[in-house]
Structure formats: C-alpha cells, structure tokens
Amino acid sequence: MKRRDFLGAMAGAGAATALTACGSNEDNAAAAAVMQPQKTYQWKMVTTWPKNFPGLGTGANHIAQLIEAMSGGRIQVKVFGAGELVGAFEVFDAVSQGNAQLGHAGAYYWRGKIPCASFFSSVPFGLTAQEMNAWLYYGGGMALWEEAYKPFGLLPNPGGNSGTQMGGWFNKEIRSLQDLQGLKMRIPGLGGEVLKRAGGVPLTLAGGEIFPSLQSGALDATEWVGPYNDLAFGLYKVAKYYYTPGWHEPGTTMECMINEQAFNELPKDLQAIVRTAIKAANAEMLAEYTARNQQALHTLVHEHKVELRHFPDEVLRALKSLSQEVVEEAAKADALSAKVWASQKTFKEQVMQWTEVSEFAYLRARAL
Ligand code: CA
C-alpha cells in the first residue's frame, strides 16, 4: 500500500481498527486487559509527621489523594500519622519490610542506618530547594539515592520541599559563639553535629515532642521548619527570639519512599501514576510553603510580637567553617557517602556560580 493510501485508510477506518488490523499480540493483550475488571490495590502510607500536620502531613495526604484520583481509584492509599501505625522513626523499617507500601519522611532521619542519607535531605550551607531538585533530577542525584536505598528494597523519591528553613527559636539572644556553649537545642542531622562542635548540645526529637520539651526547660532552643509550621506548633509561646537564616537546612527535601516489591507488582500505568503523583506533590509543597510562610511570619511578628533576629556574620562564618569539616568527615563514612558528596559538591560549586549571576543578582537588584 502506498503511504498516501495507507493514511487515507487510517483516517477512514479510525485508529482503533488500524491498531487491530496491524496489532501485535502484545497490543491485543493490552486491549483485552482494558476490557477486564481492573485489579485494585489497598496501600498504606506511614509518615514521620503528626497526622494532617500543615505542609508536611498535608503534603503526604496530597500524594495519596493524587494517586487515588489519577488511578481512578485503582490504588487507594490510607495515610497514617506518626504513632498511628508505627512511630515517627520507624517509617523506614515499616516500608522496607512491606508493612506499608509508602513512607513520607526526611532522609536525614536515617543517617544511623545509611551514612549518606543526609545528603538527600539537606546539608548545612548546601543546596537550596531549586538547586536540590536540579541535582536530584538532572545532576545525577537520583541514581545515587536509588543506590543507597536499593539494599533495603526501597525506591526513593523527592516528595516535597520546605524551602529555606528558619534558624530556630531561642530564649536568649545569640550575639557570639559563646552564646552557643552548652545550649541544648533540638536540631537533627549534620546541623546537629555542627552545633555540637560549636559547643552546643544537639538533640533529635520528633515534632510532637518539641513544644513540651521547650516549655519544661529540657530544651533551651529548637529549630523546626519555618513560620508556617512553627506558628502551628505555637513555638512563639515558649521562646522569644526567632533567628534566621536556617543555615543548617537551606532547602530540605522531604522523601516519599516506595516499597520496591509492591511497586513492581503494579502494572506500568499505575507505576507511572505513583511516580508522577509524588513528583507533582514535590513541586506543590514548595509552592505552599512559599505562600504560607510569609503570611505566618507576618502573624508571628505583628500579632505575637516575636523578636526576629539575624545570626551575626561572625557566628555564621564559624558555623560555615565547622559545617565544611562535618560534611567532609561525613563523606568519609563509607564509599557511597564519598561518591554522593563528590557528586553534590561538584554540582554545588558549579550551580553556585549560576545562582550568583541569576537569582542572587536579581534579589539584590530587587532590594535596592
Ligand atoms: Ca528543620
């Protein structure tokens, strides 16, 4: 058949007829499958956040809702807050063991199991949210993250981003490094290690434990996320000064891990739906934080009379120097950590030059 005649026949008979006429066995099987009642999947998502917690918990809910809607209900996802099915810090094991199919958390919580995990959430004085997404999606980061989680039967995904966090809540002013000596502060991950070297006492507490610990004096200071979440926790009631910037978490990536076996049991279209829903939620969360943080900051400063402070440059310079030490040492934990940091460090050195001539230059111009 001549090409022109063939196209004419296609148009006349319709694509479906043409598909059947020249279809392979595979095409016919796919067509038959579409006619069958479709299998449904009941999934569980465990999270490290309090149920429905603004931004983080609702971000997890959003992934579940997207998966259900995009799959036409073929996958139903029940979301559990921290402590409902498993504790906040048991999320990784629960998904790894298949007790839940999805887990929403922050990779730095798992650095005790996987030394390089922190590099996939946030690194002190590291990448911003935009730069993290660039490294993960287009700079080789995802392949390394997959390598790190593979032994645990998990597929990692960036599942949200808080943007630049705040430096934290303090009951005294931080005028010099001296003011950090003996300071008991809730600050997880590599940032906590930096604080320790600066003379402080870092503690890792789940979100729900922060307010009572600060109230009872078990903590002198805490970081949590940013104005939106910190307002919701009422931290302004138990601390007076609110410091910026969040040098320890310049653009924290949340994660949505998938149990690999459960994922592999899904047909290809549902696999694509799960991945795409998580990717959409990753972008959505950053937009939400950007919109809500500025509203919440206004409320904190104007209604609750919170004292906003910038860390002095001298303190930031010292913390940056200690951060470099801590990160370089963390990179020596094992071969994979070295590989991950080498990739991220190279990317950071390059992207910083672009950020400087693009966003940084623009932000400076805007503020003139
Ligand atoms: Ca934080």
Domain total of the chain: 1
**Structural domain contains residue 236:** no
Distance 152 CA to ligand 1 centre (A): 25
Ligand 1 mean position, distance from CA 207 (Å): 9
Distance 69 CA to ligand 1 centre (A): 31
Pair type for strands 221-222 and 168-170: antiparallel
Q: Within a domain: residue 17? A: no
Whole-angstrom distance, CA of residue 105 vs CA of residue 265: 23
Give the model confidence (pLDDT) of 315-328 as tens digits: 999 999 999 999 99
In the chain, the amino acid numbered 131 is: E
Distance 332 CA to ligand 1 centre (A): 24
Distance between Cα 73 and ligand 1 center (Å): 34
Question: Rounded CA gap, 292 and 229, in Å?
Answer: 9
User: 261-307: per-residue pLDDT in tens?
Assistant: 999 999 999 999 999 999 999 999 999 999 999 999 999 999 999 99
Cα of 81 from ligand 1 centre, angstroms: 18
What is the token pair recorded at 164?
């630049």
Residue 189: its pLDDT value, please?
82
Sort 108 into a burial class: Cβ within 10 Å, 0-12 / 13-18 / 19+.
buried
Give 5 Cα–ligand 1 centroid separation in angstroms. Answer: 64
Q: Is residue 225, in this structure, part of any structural domain at all?
A: no
pLDDT at residue number 5: 46
CB 123 within 8 A of CB 131: no
Compute, in angstroms, the gap from residue 290 CA to the centroid of ligand 1: 15
The pLDDT value given to residue 14: 41
CATH classification of the domain holding 80 = 3.40.190.170
| pLDDT at 197 (0 to 100) | 98
Distance CA 262, CA 252 (A): 27
Q: Distance, CA 171 to ligand 1 centroid (Å)? A: 18
Q: Is residue 112 part of a domain?
A: yes
Phi, psi of 265 (to 5 degrees): -80, -10
Domain that holds residue 86: 41-161+252-289
Q: State the pLDDT at residue 36.
A: 65
Positive or negative, the CA dihedral 153, 158, 160, 161 is positive
Measure 112 CA to ligand 1 centroid, in angstroms: 18
Residues of the chain with pLDDT under 70: 1-36
- Is residue 276 one of the residues assigned to a domain? yes
| 30 domain-assigned | no
CA of 364 relative to ligand 1 center, distance in Å: 26
Secondary structure letter of residue 352 according to DSSP: H
Question: Considering the domain boundaries, does residue 137 fall inside one?
Answer: yes
Q: How far is the CA of 141 from the centre of ligand 1 (A)?
A: 21
| Alpha carbon distance 139, 123 (integer Å) | 16
118 assigned to some structural domain: yes
**d(CA 187, ligand 1 centre) in Å:** 7
